[in-house]
Amino acid sequence: MKIAVLGGAGFIGSAFVRELNKRGIRPIVIDLLTYAGRVENLKDTDHEFVKADIRDQKLHDILREHKVEVVINFAAESHVDRSIYKPQDFVTTNVLGTINVLEAARRFNFNYVHISTDEVYGEECGDESSPLNPSSPYSASKASADLFVKAYVRTYDVKAIIVRPSNNFGPRQFPEKFVPKAIIRTLLGLHVPIYGDGKQERDWIFVEDTARIIADLLDRAEWRGEIYNITGKQRFTNLELVKLLSEVMGKEVRIKFVADRPGHDRRYCMNTSLSYQVTPLKDGLRKTYEWYLENEWWWRPLINDKFFKEDEPWKS
């Protein structure tokens, strides 16, 4: 099976490449290598790499030349904070980029896996049939992309599915995200900024579980626009997560409450029609901490002056 992984040099995408390798599959990785996509994430994997932009028409040529049968699209702008300050980037990549991939699927008739997010449901605990109610520019862009996928399935008979994972964490996650930020700042002896009262609730899933579940879907999907929620079934507030991290790291994670971000959802949760096992949160956090502890070479180059400010999270 010829598989192309868009955004395969990113956090979840590179974990998916590793999962494919376990199954004896050597994928084509297509990535623009923006700030969060790094060739370092693909270290020790077996793949063919092509640098390209999912918004560019040249993507069609690449997919055609490689005679791709399945495309999994992890390529996206995904950080809510950045979407508040630069929403245009999220529209061009997440919406227009998706349409470009859908146009390729329409032309070349490959099976398309669109990776979405639990945030499209807003604060409601949604199942696969729940209405979309996004709150941030990020989740609005992802919800828009989901609707285009559904439209292309119905209008053009494109073969596609939509996958909506909950909050992922694990090795190789860019340090702007909560778990790696908390780990790295604690290793550096810094406070960890916590939005508002810290009681925002998220459903956490270890990235290797997400990759495995998506790979399993390739064999069971009917490719008629089905939606699959991938939930970790482990709902914790940010404060509870920090407490677990402290236990795992064997040291205090010092926190500092900062002003809440605009439009911050209090919770994300989903129900799912799928059946699977997941890594217990504490075990996943331990694996994640140990990876960052042993791989300073990976994260040290990403640390800049902004990261050392204790009174605000990254905003750019």
Active site residues: 118-119, 138
Cα–Cα distances in Å, from 220 out to 27, 215, 262, 274? 19, 10, 40, 11
Residues 6+ apart with CB under 8 A from 192: 181, 182, 185, 186, 242, 253, 254, 255, 256
Q: Provide the H-helix boundaries in the chain.
A: 11-22, 58-65, 80-85, 87-90, 97-108, 137-156, 178-187, 207-220, 238-249, 281-294, 296-299
- Specify whether the backbone of 94 is left (phi greater than 0), alpha (psi in -120 to 50) or beta: alpha
Cα–Cα distances in Å, from 16 out to 5, 12, 260, 281, 308? 8, 6, 33, 19, 31
Distance CA 100, CA 235 (A): 35
Using an 8 Å Cβ cutoff, are 41 and 107 in contact?
no
- What's the Rg (C-alpha) of the chain? 19
DSSP for 56-71, written as a single string: STHHHHHHHHTT-SEE
Distance CA 205, CA 232 (A): 4
Cα–Cα distances in Å, from 101 out to 54, 200, 226? 7, 34, 18
Q: Are strands 235-237 and 201-206 parallel, antiparallel or unpaired?
A: antiparallel
Q: Which residue has the tokens 């073969």?
A: 159
